[in-house]
Each structure stands twice: as C-alpha cells, then as structure tokens.
Amino acid sequence: MKYIEEFRDSSQVRRILDAIEALGFTEDVNLMEICGTHTHSISKYGIRGVMPSGVRLLSGPGCPVCVTTEEEIDAIVKFARENRDVVIATFGDMIKVPGSVGSLEGVRAEGADVRVVYSPLDALKIAIKETEKEVVFCAVGFETTAPAVGATVLKAIEQGVDNFSILSLHRLTPPAMRALMESSDVRIDGFICPGHVTTIIGSVAYRFLAEQYRTPCVVAGFEPLDALLGIYMLLKQIKEGRADIEVEYSRVVTADGNPKAKRILERLFKVVDADWRGFGLVPMSGLKLKEEFYLYDAEKRFYIRRVEPEDGSPECRCGDVLRGLITPEECPLFNTICTPESPRGPCMVSTEGTCAAYYRYERR
C-alpha cells in the first residue's frame, strides 16, 4: 500500500481489529506512544475506544513543546520582556505556552518583538533582512527538527550572518524512554515508537529497550491502519513472549535512519543532561551547540539563564499526563478552566499535546 486512502480502508480496519481480538488478551496490557502525532491520530480516529478491554493505550512525552520546562519558558519570556530590540522567532505552538511569569503571546502584546516562523530558515531570513536587529530562534523539538536547525546555523556561517543565534531546547527521545522504564510509576509493556523521529535516528536506536528491558517496540506510521497494525504487532510480540524492534512504517523508516541528518547533529551539537517537564533531570537527553559555535548560541551570547518559576498553576498536572500516570480527564483543570482558548499548561496548547487531543476528540 502506498496511498493514504488505502491506510483508511474500513474493511482493512475491521480485519485488523478482529486479529487483535483473536489474540485474546485477558490481563491488562499498557502500550505507550512517544509521539504527539500518534497521540493526535489515536484520538482523532477513535482507536482508544475500539481496543479490547484489557488493552490500554497511554500517551507519553511525545510533544516537544510540552516537555519544555516552566523554567525555560520563564527564561525566554523574561529575556523577551527585557530585550525588546531583539527579535524572538519561534514556532506557533510556543507562543501560548504559559510560564509562571507569562507567555510569549503576553510579552508580544506588551511590545516585545516576537514572531512566528514556520522553519529556522525563516528566522535566518529575518536576520538577513533586518541587519540592525539581533534574531534569536527558539529551537524546540526532538531529533526530527534538530538537523534543520543545525543546517540553518551552518548556512548562517556560510553567508556571514552575525546577528542570528539559536536557543537550543532540543530533546532526545530514547533517553526519555529509558527514564520511563527505570521509573516505577507506571508499567509499560510495549512502545509505539515515533515515526518521524525514527526516520532520522533509525530503528536501531531502540535496541536497548529490547535487550535491557525486554520491552517490545514497533515503529508505526500515522494513518489509522498504521496505528492499528503497530498495536497488533506489539500485542503479537507480547503474546509470543518476544521483545523485538519491528518497523510497521517501513515505507519511510530504515534501521540506520538518515545518515546526512545524523552527520549534521554530530557536527553541530553535543549531548547534555536536560530537564524535562514531569520527569526532572534526564541524563544525556538534550542537545546544545558545540563550543566552536558559541557565537550562534543565544544562551551564551546573551547570558540567558533559567530562573526558579513563581507560583504558576500548581493544579496543572501536565507532567503526570506526560508520564502516562493520568489521562487528561483526571486533571481537575481539564475542560473547566483549562481549554485551548485559555490553556493552563502546554499539553493543552500544542496540537501535539495529549490534553488538546482529548479536548478535541475524546471529551465526555
């Protein structure tokens, strides 16, 4: 199959659901997806609601905006508030994310120069066009977006653009999966691995999950049949007592990933410890520019430092949602005072956020 319509064929959906039912799970099984697009697809197509009673689909830390910490949001907001002559360029999802001292949308209303861009290259174009201004790009994302950011830095160097820098808030997916396995908070019996991320890093990146934790993994695509096939393949592994790394999304994903993108990551970035919302410090899970590129590192260039957050919204349980401990409906703010129009946490802001997906497709 190679066309979208084929991956939405209702007769094929019924056939896979019958195969899942035939596996006959009588004990509870927890499967977790680590991708915001999977979260969105599972909610949109009602996949959670057609699972056998023993199969539970959990949503993990698959939204890069959501795992960005409150301290990081506060640092960006305070920097924008205190440096109104600097252009803050960012993806649209970051604009509304609330910190304890406000949001980028709020400081833009106060007069800060905050602009939404669709790619890091758009931010570089602003720097080339407006040479009298410094441009800082807030680089949020997993392994999927980091190569494009790295390539943009190389382009800035090539073109001699000296008023452009990035604030690298990139996170790496496999270390977060390891942190989930090391935690005793929730039992995970199998992972639906992220399709987009795996196009970059390759399916071999999850080998440790099978070898060290005996946890099955399936890399799945994003159409209804992709997700259902991925779930079936995971359940079949569990039923047979196997722990393998399988690829359902074989039309895009390979074992070794994208060598050019990985070379860019290796050339530009160093791996560092990073804090994740809901997780705390996750060892070797972040990316920062290497020392030789310090002129393009906004954190060093402007001495941007994270600060302890103020009171914020203590009732928001976004961190627990990101770890699969609760569903959005178990948060006391969900669909009451926390909505997409007035979000109290990033899980309701981003289109990849679990709360946003539940609000749109699974609200009772």
Is the pLDDT confidence value at 309 over 80?
no
| List of residues 6+ apart from 345 with CB closer than 8 A | 66, 98, 313, 316, 317, 318, 333, 338, 355
Lowest model confidence (mean pLDDT) among 150-164, 282-296, 340-354? 340-354
Average pLDDT, whole number, for the chain? 94
111, with CB counted inside 10 A (0-12, 13-18, 19+), is exposed
Residues 224-242 pLDDT 10s = 999 999 999 999 999 999 9
Smallest Cα–Cα separation from 65: which of 145, 185, 126?
A: 145
Q: Can you give the pLDDT at residue 60?
A: 97
Rounded to two decimals, what is the model's pTM? 0.94
- For residues 275-285, give the mean pLDDT: 97
- CA–CA separation, 322 and 317 (whole Å): 9
Q: Can you give the pLDDT at residue 351?
A: 85
- For residues 345-355, give the mean pLDDT: 93
- CA–CA separation, 14 and 219 (whole Å): 21
Query: In the chain, pLDDT over 70 holds for what percent of residues?
Result: 97
- CA–CA separation, 324 and 176 (whole Å): 13
Q: Can you give the pLDDT at residue 311?
A: 62
- For residues 319-344, give the mean pLDDT: 94
Residues 268-277 pLDDT 10s = 999 999 999 9
Is the pLDDT confidence value at 292 over 70?
yes
Across the strands, what pairs with 59? 33
Residues 257-267 pLDDT 10s = 999 999 999 99
Domains, the chain, ordered by start: 4-64+174-247 (3.40.50.11750), 68-173+257-301 (3.40.50.11740)
Residues 168-219 pLDDT 10s = 999 999 999 999 999 988 999 999 999 999 999 999 999 999 999 999 999 9
Q: How far is CA 272 from CA 180, 234, 259, in A?
A: 18, 32, 21
Q: Can you give the pLDDT at residue 206?
A: 98
- CA–CA separation, 12 and 129 (whole Å): 52
- CA–CA separation, 231 and 51 (whole Å): 10
